[in-house]
Structure 1
Amino acid sequence: MKLIKKHKIKLIIAVILLTAYYFSLPKELFKNPTSTVIESVEGKLLGAKIAKDGQWRFPQNDSVPEKFKQCILQFEDAYFYKHPGFNPVSISKAIVQNIQYKRVRRGGSTLTQQVIRLSRKNQKRTYFEKVIELILATRLEVGYSKEKILAFYASNAPFGSNVVGLDAAAWRYFGNVPNNLSWAESATLAVLPNAPSLIYPGKNQEKLKIKRNLLLKKLRDKNIIDALTYQLSIEEELPQKVVAIPQIAPHLLQNVSLNYLGKRVKTSVKYNFQERVNQIVKNHYLELSQNQINNIAVLVLDVKTRKVLAYVGNSPTTKTHQKDVDIITKARSTGSILKPFLFSAMLDAGDILPNTLVADIPTQIGSYKPQNFNKEFDGAVPACVALGRSLNVPAVRMLQSFGLERFHEYLKKMHLKDIKYGANHYGLSLILGGAESNLWDLCKSYSAMASTINHFEETNGKYYKNEFLEPSFLANFKPDFGDISTEKTLFNAGAIYLTFEALNEVNRPEGEDKWDFFDSANKIAWKTGTSFGFRDAWSVGTTKDYVVGVWVGNADGEGRPGLVGISVAAPILFDVFNLLPQSNWFLKPFDELVEVEVCNKSGYRASEFCDDIKLAFVQQSGLKTRPCPYHKLVHLYKNEQYQVNTSCEPLENIVHKSWFSLPPLEEYYYKNKNPFYKKLPNFRSDCIGEITSKMEFLIPKDNTTFYLTKDFKEIENGLVLKVVHTNPKSLIYWYLNDEFIGETESIHEINISPKQGTYIITAVDNEGNEIKSRIKINI
């Protein structure tokens, strides 16, 4: 105690000095900005982005390759593992030489001191600065291992030009990772920080070679390398030019740098697969660019892990054509790519069965008049065929039937970020490209649907609550699918399975169209889309294990003839799928399906009058769909040429038969595409009590506005009115605002030339049936 009191001031000073010594070293030695670096899942370099200060400086690497370690130790600090941060012998020799030559000729710094100098941004060399470096070097030795100090040096030493650190130097000068460098290459890099200005392509090569070879000789003399290795090493050429940093996934690098700027990120991308997808994109770009289609994006996801396997944000086009734009995340018009979601929603809700006939007829809803791509109509078509053929009119009619707001709610639950507005903003065009989405979200949605079926099987008929989670490009990503529940996430597994079954039947592009002849062929549920004006071509496909999404077009939105999903996007999709391992098809989710009798002609549940019935698996909710409305029991004369009843024919001459009959307008188009369709015979003229004839306007639809044009002689063109009637022999009387304008027989077309205004068109047949339509004429 007395001793403490006696030396109290000295102890206080000692404590202050020790405290100052302890805190003399910054917590973070190097605060320089670093390059953003991305690696493949195997650890290979995918790309790097130069640091904000214009230097190629990779993030700190804690491992130093053995060859470089031996080279740098023998060149800079042979006693590195023995000294406490400084070498008294080297310092003494340096002082003697510097005094002798009256200038700083020799530094005598250890690697530890050089780390301190680098962290202090190479302060002016003075003896006072040397003292500071010495103190901090000893403190560095106390706080860090020798290996860590060596790693500090390797990651921050200058290697000439704007190259800092071993990792960047190895790539810039030798195009390789440090671990793969030869002894000669490692020795070259080891001597550079001593004089980094030496290595300029074609400059001072002889001086650099001498320094390198002297180091190699030292390595040989110390038996670190053998004589043969030495001889081979000194024969190696020095680098003659700077090598570009690999840019295997440049747009992924852009994406990563948004949240991980200056970090080294190990991604989930597979190196060789990414390179092969790049080559596919390049090959298609070279062909498509001949038609001034310049941009392509491809995204590949693993369904089970939700990890990105390949990420091609754009084609290798030019800056003029915006090659640096990452289109994967950009909003584009969806075209028909949302149609499978509507099909799934309607199946899930029990509104339709997969093969339910839906109308494909001229349609006008308000001022909106959808058209099929081929400008033709089928009259009626199975819903799954309408989906597979991507028919627009049935899709719009299905959306109207299902409910615009209702479907919009489904899309919101799928987290499609670019569908930002309310349902009324998009209207019924929502299903035909009136909305925008991006490739990332679309692939996420398809993978969520595929995963729903997979998980349903794995959990014995249950669902995860968070299927529509965000995918990730991080190698260590672990998806959180949420809790298991008996309640579906969005679509039930049965509805999704039936949707994928329909999408698997879509006709593949040229070269892939014979796939179903081979048992080993890869079954894929896929869909294309083409936006209005041929601006965007889409193709997204999924198997049990993988989702591939493709977008093709021009980044500036310019449309091009031939820019159609099936023609330009689908071939890329199948080229990519051909690189992936083949997947088994989805297991049928029996707990969400039920086998029922279905009418083969209409796709509805079989009614008592259906004469062509098959068993089919449908979704459980499909049990509430109505029975077939198109089959009915009719009463025919025994030769089946007329319908009759007991008012005109004895009962024994009447044949009772099931008959498939469509509404007039659907029938009009359906019979042209289905030659075996038989019209329902008319009632015999002597039968009473039956007026079953029906008619319907082809032109005009109710509340339509027409703009009458003029011909070359400035004479206004007229308007042709058309009606379809179930009785080909019927007579129709036409009225314009209650004024009789003519009659037609068999072919019901009449031409009118009205003035500007609003009119009521009335058609009355000889049986008294009447239809009306309101039109507006603008001239």
Structure 2
Amino acid sequence: MLMQEKNRIVRAAIIFTAAYVFVAALAFHFSPKQFPYSTVIYDRNGILLGASTSNDGQWHFENSTVPEKFKKCILNYEDSRFYFHFGVDPIAIGRAFVLNLKDRRIVSGGSTLTMQTARILLGNQKRTYFQKIYEIFVAICIEIKYSKNQILSIYSSSAPFGGNVIGLEAASWRYYNRPSNSLSWAEYATLAVLPNQPSLVRPGKNQDALRDKRNSLLMKLYSNKVIDKETLELSLQERLPGKPYNLPSLAPHYLEKIKADKNLRKKTSFTTTLDYSLQENANRIIFNWSRIFSQTGIENAALLVVDTKTKDPIAYVGNINSSVDMVEAQRSSGSLLKPFLFSAMIDNGMLLPSHIVYDIPTRMGNYIPKNNTNKYTGAIQADQALTRSLNIPAVRELRQFGITQFLSLLSKYGITTLNHDADYYGIPLILGGGEVKMREIACAYAELMNKACGRKSNVPVSYGTAWTTCSILSDGVRPQDLENWRLYSRRKKIAWKTGTSSGNRDAWCIGTTPEYTVAVWVGNSVGTGNKMLTSASTAAPLMFEIFSILPQTSWPLRPEMEYDEITICTQSGFIAGPYCSETKTELKTHGTPQTKSCPYCRTYAFTPDMEYQVTVEDMINQYKGQMPATENRFVLPPYVEYWYKKQNLSYRSLPPFVPWHKENSENNIHIEFPQENSQIIVPIELDGKKGSVIFEAAANNPGTIIYWDMDGEYLGSTQKEHKFTASPKPGQHTLTLTDSTGSIRKRNFLVIAE
């Protein structure tokens, strides 16, 4: 008998072990149902910025943490012996069996929290005895595979909380507008009773039943010494949740950007680098400005604030009044690329900030760029041309620097959208002939500032050049009522640049400091232009107001070791030559190639009374034995001087030569258009007739008469303003200009059939 008893025990042990191994094997392969979750974004401090419903239309946040207070509420309400059973509570099952038998229907399931978790994961099937047995089996599998805390986490993030709200975190935001780790005992107790009967939560309905269940749980927590009497009394007085809150939607375009990122598809919850307070204020500011813009037919605006050092976004407003994300859209750059050309030319020894550059009517083939003001200065310092965003100097500089080289430079700044060759963009590239993304161009400005701060950067210009460029950009005249910004007690020094695209379709402003870079775009997403759309009146003031809500910023110290001291001509800004009468010292970026010396100052000869220019031969003929008077003069070419004198009254033009002087050079005449060996297309007008082109020239002497000849055929003469309209046939031509002193100038060009 003893041996038989031992055998039965052994067989039972083997059967039990086999059953356990079988169940354990099944448990190992068991995995919870993969619910579709909402995409949720938080700011860098964990504050909710926005969320979208899951693919099945539910508010369902993925969350692995369970607050300790909620854990105590749910266990006291649903399963007080949770930590002492193995998925099934025999006492609860027995009690449920008696109740169901007494009422002859299922009134209690006797389910543990683990069994409820199993039911949720199995899709909440219809309640039957067979289904209950299956849920018990799955509950045991869950207990084998997961820890008790993991089971609580699965339950809390998967249980229904009324309506289309799934999981504790979503419920906390929908009913209390706060994260689940910040609720009171009464609020946790309210949420704890909902999964049992989620239909209780309806604004204005079943509130009494919900209050009774919540208060009953609070009393139980007090009886079990989980809360004290004072907490109980205060909790019983708390109001129940009313109408569900709308979830925050502070960065909807950034949320959609994350959802669309294929590399992030496996995640649904994201802690971003955005700052909640800054994002909220940025939304407020751009909304207020947009109401003003909309009065003139400007419907959309967008902005981006990035951490200059890391280039991570800290505020992201993709658009106002449109779902189109303008931070990622490709739009004409306007004048935003000018600082990068400016700095590159300095680094290549092609320019000094003080150099005078030409600002005159210019034609390049059939392309005729114009300044936004439709005015010309003749010649202006390069740094002033940049801060005033003059177009003519910029296009002339790009022609000198080279379009292909400039495109290569921009790619090193991280601009990916300019992916065609030089012929595709041409000279208009510098004025907005190419499209950029706000995110990329903002980061390019941040890179320039990082280099100016001496930080590690991929920017292909030197430390000193970057600092110089940013310093020049900080001296621009600020818009409207911000012109007296230097008087502000807590002023921010900002390197900034505006840009308005052709046809007034896009208005830009980007500002950067060592801490923050702010980019603003204003316009219409559909691309329609508006004459009221200028960067100075829209994007610039909006950008400066965004900077006003940012913390105080700094400015990098000038890197003294990065510069060499040079002597320059005061009037031309070039390195001083032997004939420059006025000079001053300036700093040049160390290691950059030497620029050429001043080409505008030289010695001129005059009659003793300084009334006329002369040569030695002229003096011999009329002033026997006398030598001419000489003087060093700053003299611009005639086609530049004409415009320069209008802005600079102190400029002294050279007097004419003495009447008996015989001119035999070409220096008195300059042909501005066409350029030598240029190719010209004569357009066809709308009525089908052949159009015309306008030839342009200039003369040293304002009273000069110029005679025009093309291919040996006399065309006519001009005086004062030297422009001539002609309609040359396709083919090679020679334009010849002659003046009354005998000066001759020729220019060869080719007309291409349209």
Equivalent AA in structure 2 for residue 38 of structure 1: I
Counterpart residue number, 1:478: none
* TM-score normalized by the length of structure 2: 0.91
Deviation at 1:576, TM superposition (A): 0.9
Kindly indicate whether the alpha-carbon contact (under 8 Å) linking 1:691 and 1:767 is maintained by their aligned counterparts in 2: no
Looking at structure 2, the residues matched to 346 and 748 of structure 1 have their Cα atoms a distance apart, in angstroms, of: 33
Counterpart residue number, 1:661: 635
SS at match of 2:606: strand
Deviation at 1:209, TM superposition (A): 2.1
Which of 167, 170, 186 is residue 168 of structure 1 equivalent to? 170
Deviation at 1:685, TM superposition (A): 3.4
Deviation at 1:192, TM superposition (A): 0.8
Count matched residues.
739
Which of 585, 594, 598 is residue 615 of structure 1 equivalent to? 585
Kindly indicate whether the alpha-carbon contact (under 8 Å) linking 2:73 and 2:221 is maintained by their aligned counterparts in 1: yes
Kindly indicate whether the alpha-carbon contact (under 8 Å) linking 1:708 and 1:719 is maintained by their aligned counterparts in 2: no
Counterpart residue number, 1:626: 596
**Does residue 91 in structure 1 map to residue 61 in structure 2?**
no
Looking at structure 2, the residues matched to 252 and 720 of structure 1 have their Cα atoms a distance apart, in angstroms, of: 51
Kindly indicate whether the alpha-carbon contact (under 8 Å) linking 1:357 and 1:381 is maintained by their aligned counterparts in 2: yes
Q: Which moved more, 1:29-38 or 1:199-208?
A: 199-208
**Does residue 51 in structure 1 map to residue 21 in structure 2?**
no
Q: Which moved more, 1:222-231 or 1:77-86?
A: 222-231
Equivalent AA in structure 2 for residue 266 of structure 1: T
Counterpart residue number, 2:653: 679
**Does residue 730 in structure 1 map to residue 701 in structure 2?**
no
Change in Cα spacing, 1:204 to 1:681, as seen in structure 2 (3 Å) is same
Counterpart residue number, 1:526: 496
Looking at structure 2, the residues matched to 55 and 350 of structure 1 have their Cα atoms a distance apart, in angstroms, of: 62
SS at match of 2:480: coil
**Does residue 512 in structure 1 map to residue 482 in structure 2?**
yes
Counterpart residue number, 1:589: 559
Looking at structure 1, the residues matched to 87 and 8 of structure 2 have their Cα atoms a distance apart, in angstroms, of: 34
Change in Cα spacing, 1:188 to 1:602, as seen in structure 2 (3 Å) is same
Which of 500, 510, 513 is residue 543 of structure 1 equivalent to? 513
Matches for 1:55-134 after TM superposition, within 5 Å: 55-62=58-65, 64-134=66-136
Equivalent AA in structure 2 for residue 360 of structure 1: D
Counterpart residue number, 1:474: none
Residue by residue over 1:373-396, the C-alpha shift from the partner in whole angstroms, topping out at 9 and shown as x without a partner, is 112222112111111111111111
Counterpart residue number, 1:554: 524
Residue by residue over 1:140-189, the C-alpha shift from the partner in whole angstroms, topping out at 9 and shown as x without a partner, is 33443332222221111101111100100111122121222233222221
SS at match of 1:310: strand
Kindly indicate whether the alpha-carbon contact (under 8 Å) linking 1:352 and 1:622 is maintained by their aligned counterparts in 2: no
Residue by residue over 1:110-140, the C-alpha shift from the partner in whole angstroms, topping out at 9 and shown as x without a partner, is 1122112212222333333333333443443
Counterpart residue number, 1:265: 270
Q: Which moved more, 1:513-522 or 1:261-270?
A: 513-522
Looking at structure 2, the residues matched to 697 and 777 of structure 1 have their Cα atoms a distance apart, in angstroms, of: 20
SS at match of 2:194: helix
Deviation at 1:412, TM superposition (A): 2.2
Deviation at 1:629, TM superposition (A): 0.7
Looking at structure 1, the residues matched to 160 and 316 of structure 2 have their Cα atoms a distance apart, in angstroms, of: 33
Deviation at 1:23, TM superposition (A): 2.8
Change in Cα spacing, 1:548 to 1:754, as seen in structure 2 (3 Å) is closer
Kindly indicate whether the alpha-carbon contact (under 8 Å) linking 2:169 and 2:179 is maintained by their aligned counterparts in 1: yes
SS at match of 1:81: helix
Q: Which moved more, 1:693-702 or 1:671-680?
A: 693-702
Looking at structure 2, the residues matched to 710 and 73 of structure 1 have their Cα atoms a distance apart, in angstroms, of: 83
Q: Which moved more, 1:761-770 or 1:298-307?
A: 761-770
Deviation at 1:691, TM superposition (A): 4.7
Counterpart residue number, 2:448: 449
Looking at structure 1, the residues matched to 625 and 144 of structure 2 have their Cα atoms a distance apart, in angstroms, of: 113
SS at match of 1:566: coil
Which of 220, 225, 228 is residue 227 of structure 2 equivalent to? 225
Equivalent AA in structure 1 for residue 104 of structure 2: K
SS at match of 1:200: coil
Which of 149, 153, 156 is residue 154 of structure 1 equivalent to? 156
Change in Cα spacing, 1:407 to 1:700, as seen in structure 2 (3 Å) is closer
Looking at structure 1, the residues matched to 637 and 329 of structure 2 have their Cα atoms a distance apart, in angstroms, of: 44
Counterpart residue number, 2:720: 747
Equivalent AA in structure 1 for residue 701 of structure 2: N
Looking at structure 2, the residues matched to 46 and 352 of structure 1 have their Cα atoms a distance apart, in angstroms, of: 47
Kindly indicate whether the alpha-carbon contact (under 8 Å) linking 1:718 and 1:751 is maintained by their aligned counterparts in 2: no
Looking at structure 2, the residues matched to 736 and 152 of structure 1 have their Cα atoms a distance apart, in angstroms, of: 89
Change in Cα spacing, 1:273 to 1:755, as seen in structure 2 (3 Å) is closer
SS at match of 1:668: helix
Which of 284, 288, 293 is residue 283 of structure 1 equivalent to? 288
Change in Cα spacing, 1:390 to 1:142, as seen in structure 2 (3 Å) is same
Kindly indicate whether the alpha-carbon contact (under 8 Å) linking 1:722 and 1:749 is maintained by their aligned counterparts in 2: yes
Kindly indicate whether the alpha-carbon contact (under 8 Å) linking 1:351 and 1:622 is maintained by their aligned counterparts in 2: no
SS at match of 1:547: strand
Change in Cα spacing, 1:742 to 1:162, as seen in structure 2 (3 Å) is closer
Looking at structure 2, the residues matched to 154 and 561 of structure 1 have their Cα atoms a distance apart, in angstroms, of: 57
Kindly indicate whether the alpha-carbon contact (under 8 Å) linking 1:75 and 1:191 is maintained by their aligned counterparts in 2: yes
SS at match of 1:410: helix
Equivalent AA in structure 2 for residue 310 of structure 1: A
Change in Cα spacing, 1:444 to 1:671, as seen in structure 2 (3 Å) is same
**Does residue 415 in structure 1 map to residue 414 in structure 2?**
yes
Looking at structure 1, the residues matched to 724 and 571 of structure 2 have their Cα atoms a distance apart, in angstroms, of: 37
Kindly indicate whether the alpha-carbon contact (under 8 Å) linking 1:350 and 1:621 is maintained by their aligned counterparts in 2: no
Which of 494, 499, 511 is residue 469 of structure 2 equivalent to? 499
**Does residue 393 in structure 1 map to residue 367 in structure 2?**
no
Counterpart residue number, 1:472: none
Change in Cα spacing, 1:716 to 1:70, as seen in structure 2 (3 Å) is closer
Counterpart residue number, 1:573: 543
Identical columns (%): 39
Which of 35, 39, 44 is residue 36 of structure 1 equivalent to? 39
Matches for 1:130-149 after TM superposition, within 5 Å: 130-149=132-151
Equivalent AA in structure 2 for residue 116 of structure 1: A
Kindly indicate whether the alpha-carbon contact (under 8 Å) linking 1:683 and 1:690 is maintained by their aligned counterparts in 2: no
SS at match of 2:537: helix
Looking at structure 2, the residues matched to 269 and 536 of structure 1 have their Cα atoms a distance apart, in angstroms, of: 26
Kindly indicate whether the alpha-carbon contact (under 8 Å) linking 2:728 and 2:751 is maintained by their aligned counterparts in 1: no
Looking at structure 2, the residues matched to 718 and 326 of structure 1 have their Cα atoms a distance apart, in angstroms, of: 44
Structure 1: gaps of 5 or more residues = 318-322, 457-463, 469-488
Deviation at 1:357, TM superposition (A): 1.5
Looking at structure 2, the residues matched to 177 and 73 of structure 1 have their Cα atoms a distance apart, in angstroms, of: 21
Looking at structure 2, the residues matched to 70 and 146 of structure 1 have their Cα atoms a distance apart, in angstroms, of: 13
SS at match of 2:160: coil
Counterpart residue number, 1:480: none
SS at match of 2:209: helix
Deviation at 1:699, TM superposition (A): 6.8
Kindly indicate whether the alpha-carbon contact (under 8 Å) linking 1:39 and 1:266 is maintained by their aligned counterparts in 2: yes
Equivalent AA in structure 1 for residue 736 of structure 2: T
Kindly indicate whether the alpha-carbon contact (under 8 Å) linking 1:56 and 1:168 is maintained by their aligned counterparts in 2: yes
SS at match of 2:737: strand
Kindly indicate whether the alpha-carbon contact (under 8 Å) linking 1:541 and 1:547 is maintained by their aligned counterparts in 2: yes
Q: Which moved more, 1:717-726 or 1:767-776?
A: 717-726
Kindly indicate whether the alpha-carbon contact (under 8 Å) linking 2:704 and 2:720 is maintained by their aligned counterparts in 1: no
Looking at structure 2, the residues matched to 737 and 629 of structure 1 have their Cα atoms a distance apart, in angstroms, of: 33
Equivalent AA in structure 2 for residue 510 of structure 1: Q
Kindly indicate whether the alpha-carbon contact (under 8 Å) linking 1:763 and 1:772 is maintained by their aligned counterparts in 2: yes
Kindly indicate whether the alpha-carbon contact (under 8 Å) linking 1:354 and 1:618 is maintained by their aligned counterparts in 2: no
Change in Cα spacing, 1:518 to 1:606, as seen in structure 2 (3 Å) is farther
Q: Which moved more, 1:549-558 or 1:302-311?
A: 302-311
Q: Which moved more, 1:768-777 or 1:252-261?
A: 768-777
Equivalent AA in structure 2 for residue 61 of structure 1: S
Matches for 1:293-312 after TM superposition, within 5 Å: 293-312=298-317
Residue by residue over 1:705-739, the C-alpha shift from the partner in whole angstroms, topping out at 9 and shown as x without a partner, is 5669899xxx9999986642112343433335434
